[in-house]
Each structure stands twice: as structure tokens, then as C-alpha cells.
């Protein structure tokens, strides 16, 4: 049985791919394709966590609240057993097994971690193909900025500052190092590298493009919901102010009201978010250019990985309007108050 491992990267439509695979799980199975769910029914999120070094942890591991390393290792062994059993069962009636999580990109940052994943997969599959979508680093960083706000963080800038000369590039954006890690483990020929750009995607979108890797005329149903709708600059500023006000609060306690605020903002203030100035965007991108070009030559047979046109950026950075952001927050709080009063009135109504 063959295996496709979709590793992201983050901010390249992975959620849409995973939702499409999950919605069409039965249809895919009928055609000999198994989308695994033992490591997560939509995003196989637990899969990269299984192969992170034991001295490292992320939000997913922290949420498990393991008492000690022994408890974490027990969880790991039990889940690996479940995943292996799922793969073994799939082999009886399927030709292809799919694993998908964009967190492979951001969590398996050491060579030995990817090698451990490779060794596990080789026990179950005769052939493993690694699919990776890449998005230009400045665009990726802007999308990550909004995600950070949604998660309750208070980023100071839209784009990270360029690293000092001679210092190591940030691993999250270093595609050359990413592909070298995975190429060293699985072999360069096993990597299928794709640009996250409408002009380069089959059918013009990432779901159709990924579907084209699985076979012809699958007729997969695409998810109808829009995920992570773009927030306007005003909405981003409102969310940033909210996060700063509650910075010292318990994160678990603020998660639900923040989620409600995001839903409110998505219904009231979508649009173009904050934009860095053109020179800053280009300076951030340039530090990755040589590595990007090396990736393009090795895996795509061309000189450049991305189109290097920065004309969409303004000459001067744009920001949200503070007054508009505060008005959005006031409207949200008023709506929250009305909901609370309505619930209280219902509880106090005669006869209840």
C-alpha cells in the first residue's frame, strides 16, 4: 500500500483540504483511498506530536496535561498502536493511505524527528510520497499575524524583523531547510513540491489541486464553509486591544469570549488587514531568496520559487483606525450584555 503525507505548510489551505477529505471519506474509501482518522478525524494533528522529541512540547502536548514523561510516553505508545492498527486494517481493501497535518511543517523541526516518522511509515507502506505546498514568506507571515491575534497573542509587528547577518533563519519560514530535512529522510524524489498560487494550482484552488494527486474524476465535494475569513485592519486592531486588555487573564477563561468576538468581527468587519510597507515586505522576503531559488531549481526545474512582485504593498504601512476598532468592541460588548440579560430574564420568568 502507498502513502501520501501532506505536511502543509501552514497557511496554505490545509484546513480546506482536510475538510474535503473528511467529508468525502466514504467516497474515497470506495475507490481504495483511506484517509486516516486515528490521529485526528480531520486534521491528523496528533501525528506530528507523536514524533516530536520527548524534551519538546507544544500547545497540543500541553493540552494533554501529562503529569510526567512516563505518562506522555504511555499516551504515545497507545496512539501509535491505534494508528498502526488502522493502517493494517486499511491494507485489506485500500491501495492508498493519506495522512494530513500542516503541523508536520511547524513541529518536526529536527532531522531525527522526521527520520523517526519515516521509519514508522516504512513498516507499513511500500511507497511514501510527501506533498508540500509553499507560500511566499511575506504573505505567509501576514496570514500568521491574524492567526496569532485569533489565538490571543499580541504581536508587535506584522512581519518578523529580518535576522542579523550570519544568524540562523527562522525555521518556520526556511523552506530550504524544511525540504532538506524531509528530502534527507524520504529521498528528494519522494517530495512533491507545489506553489500555493492560484495560477499554479490544478483547477485554480488547493482542494482541486490535491484531489488531482489522488486520481482522475474523483468528484470530491468541497467544504462549503469559509474558514478563517480575512479580518479588516479595524477588526485586527479591535482584537489586538482585546488581547492586551486580557493579557494577564487565564487563557482558558478568555478563550470562549475571544472566539465569540472573532465570530462577531467576521460578521461585521471582514476585508483587507494591516499591510506593511513595500520596503519592509521585500526586505523580509529577501533573506529567504537564495534558499527559495535553490528549492525551485531542485524540485520545480525553474530559477525562482515565487513571483517577486511587491507592488501590492503600499509605500507606507497601513493600520486599523483606533476609533473604529473601539466602536467594534463596544458593539460586541453591547451584544454580549443583551445575551446575558436575555438569559437572566428567562431564568427569572414567572412559572420557571
Domain span at residue 252? 233-271+321-348
Judgement on whether residues 210 and 343 belong to the same structural domain of the protein? no
H/E element holding 241? helix 233-245
Residues 102-132 have pLDDT tens digits of: 999 999 999 999 999 999 999 999 999 999 9
How far is it, in rounded angstroms, from Cα 13 to Cα 202? Answer: 14
What is the structure's pLDDT at 71? 97
**C-alpha span between 108 and 117 (Å, rounded):** 9
Other CB atoms closer than 10 Å to residue 304's CB: what's the count? Answer: 13
Q: Which of 177-186, 209-218, 338-347 has the lowest mean pLDDT?
A: 338-347
Domain membership flag for residue 294: no
In a domain, 107, yes or no: yes
**178-199 mean pLDDT:** 97
Query: Quick one: pLDDT at residue 343?
Result: 78
Q: Are residues 252 and 184 part of one domain?
A: no
pLDDT grade for 273, boundaries at 50, 70 and 90: very high
Helix (H, G, I), strand (E, B) or coil at 18: helix
Inform me whether the pLDDT recorded for 177 exceeds 90.
yes
What pLDDT is recorded for position 143? 93
Write down how long the chain is.
Answer: 352
Whether residue 144 is contained in a domain is answered as: no
Binning pLDDT at 50, 70 and 90, where does residue 26 land? very high
Banded model confidence at residue 351, pLDDT cuts 50, 70, 90: low
**Is the pLDDT score of 73 beyond 90?**
yes
pLDDT tens-digit series, residues 152-174: 999 989 999 888 888 899 999 99
Q: Which three cell numbers stand for residue 329?
A: 468592541
Are 276 and 159 in contact by the 8 Å Cβ rule? The answer is yes
**Above 80 in pLDDT, residue 227?**
no
The answer as to whether 299 is a domain residue is: no
Express each pLDDT in 79-106 by its tens digit. Answer: 999 999 999 999 999 999 999 999 999 9
Helix (H) / strand (E) element for 134: namely strand 127-134
Residues 19 and 87 in one domain: yes
* 128 in the same domain as 36: yes
Share of the chain above pLDDT 70, in %: 95
Q: Are 193 and 239 in a shared domain?
A: no
Cβ contacts of 197 within 8 Å, gap of 6 or more: 135, 306, 307
CATH number at residue 26: 3.40.50
Grid cell, residue 280, equals 519592509
State the Cα–Cα distance between residues 344 and 218, nearest whole angstrom. Answer: 51
E strands, 135-288, in order: 191-195
Which residue in 150, 144, 137, 152 sits closest to 295, CA to CA? 137
Going from the C-alpha of 17 to that of each of 6, 79, 144, 207, 223, the distances in angstroms are: 10, 24, 18, 5, 9
Segment 82-88 long-range contacts (CB within 8 Å, at least 24 positions apart): 82/38, 83/36, 83/38, 83/39, 83/47, 83/50, 84/123, 84/124, 85/38, 86/36, 86/37, 86/38, 87/1, 87/36, 87/124, 87/125, 88/124
44 and 36 Cβ atoms separated by less than 8 Å: yes
- Position 219 pLDDT exceeds 80: no
Q: How far apart are CA 35 and CA 38, in angstroms?
A: 10
Distance between CA atoms of residues 277 and 317, nearest Å: 4
Q: Is residue 176 one of the residues assigned to a domain?
A: yes
pLDDT of residue 341: 77
Q: Which residues contact 246 (CB under 8 A, 6 or more apart)?
A: 152, 254, 258
Q: Sorting pLDDT into bands at 50, 70 and 90, what band is 203?
A: confident
In a domain, 51, yes or no: yes
**229 or 25, which is more confident?**
25
**Which residues make Cβ contacts (< 8 Å) with residue 60, sequence separation at least 6?**
45, 46, 49, 103
pLDDT tens digits, 284-321:
999 999 999 999 999 999 999 999 999 999 999 999 99
pLDDT in tens, 248-257: 877 778 889 9
Task: Write down the pLDDT at residue 218.
Answer: 74
Give the three cell numbers for residue 21. Answer: 477529505
Count of structural domains within the chain: 2
Nearest residue to 20 via CA among 1, 3, 6 = 6
What is the pLDDT averaged over residues 267-295?
96
Asked whether 128 and 5 are in contact (CB, 8 A), the reply is yes
Backbone angles phi, psi at 249, to 5 degrees: -80, 165
192 DSSP β-pair partners: 131
Q: Is residue 262 part of a domain?
A: yes
Helices 233-245, 322-348: crossing angle, 10 deg rounding: 60
pLDDT of residue 77: 97
Amino acid at each position: 500500500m502507498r502513502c501520501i503525507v501532506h505536511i502543509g505548510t501552514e497557511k496554505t489551505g490545509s484546513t480546506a483540504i482536510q475538510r474535503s477529505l473528511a467529508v468525502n471519506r466514504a467516497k474515497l474509501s470506495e475507490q481504495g483511498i483511506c484517509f486516516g482518522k486515528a490521529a485526528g478525524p480531520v486534521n491528523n494533528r496528533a501525528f506530528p506530536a507523536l514524533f516530536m522529541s520527548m524534551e519538546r512540547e507544544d500547545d497540543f502536548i500541553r493540552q494533554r496535561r501529562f503529569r510526567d514523561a512516563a505518562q506522555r510516553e504511555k499516551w504515545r505508545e497507545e496512539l501509535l498502536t491505534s494508528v498502526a492498527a488502522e493502517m493494517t486494517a486499511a491494507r485489506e481493501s485500500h491501495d492508498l493511505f493519506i495522512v494530513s497535518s500542516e503541523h508536520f511543517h511547524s513541529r518536526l523541526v529536527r532531522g531525527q524527528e522526521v527520520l523517526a516518522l519515516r521509519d514508522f511509515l516504512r513498516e507499513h507502506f511500500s511507497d511514501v510520497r510527501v506533498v508540500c505546498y509553499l507560500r511566499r514568506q511575506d504573505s505567509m507571515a501576514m496570514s500568521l499575524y491574524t492567526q496569532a491575534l485569533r489565538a490571543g497573542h499580541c504581536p508587535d509587528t506584522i512581519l518578523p524583523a529580518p535576522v542579523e547577518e550570519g544568524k540562523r533563519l527562522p525555521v518556520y519560514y526556511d523552506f530550504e531547510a524544511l525540504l532538506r530535512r524531509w528530502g534527507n529522510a524520504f529521498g528528494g524524489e519522494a517530495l512533491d513540491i507545489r506553489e500555493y498560487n492560484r495560477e499554479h494550482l490544478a483547477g485554480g484552488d488547493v482542494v482541486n489541486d490535491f484531489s488531482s494527486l489522488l486520481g482522475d474524476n474523483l468528484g470530491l465535494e468541497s467544504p462549503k464553509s469559509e474558514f478563517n475569513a480575512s479580518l479588516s485592519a479595524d477588526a485586527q486592531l479591535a482584537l489586538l486591544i482585546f488581547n492586551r486588555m486580557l493579557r494577564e487573564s487565564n487563557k482558558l477563561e478568555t478563550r470562549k469570549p475571544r472566539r465569540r468576538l472573532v465570530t462577531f468581527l467576521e460578521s461585521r468587519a471582514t476585508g483587507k488587514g494591516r499591510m506593511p510597507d513595500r520596503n519592509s515586505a521585500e526586505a523580509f522576503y529577501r533573506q529567504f531568496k537564495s534558499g527559495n531559488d535553490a528549492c525551485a531549481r531542485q524540485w520545480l526545474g525553474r530559477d525562482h520559487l515565487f513571483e517577486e512582485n511587491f507592488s501590492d504593498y503600499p509605500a507606507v504601512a497601513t493600520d486599523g483606525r483606533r476609533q473604529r476598532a473601539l466602536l467594534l468592541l463596544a458593539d460586541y460588548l453591547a451584544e454580549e450584555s443583551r445575551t446575558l440579560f436575555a438569559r437572566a430574564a428567562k431564568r427569572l420568568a414567572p412559572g420557571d
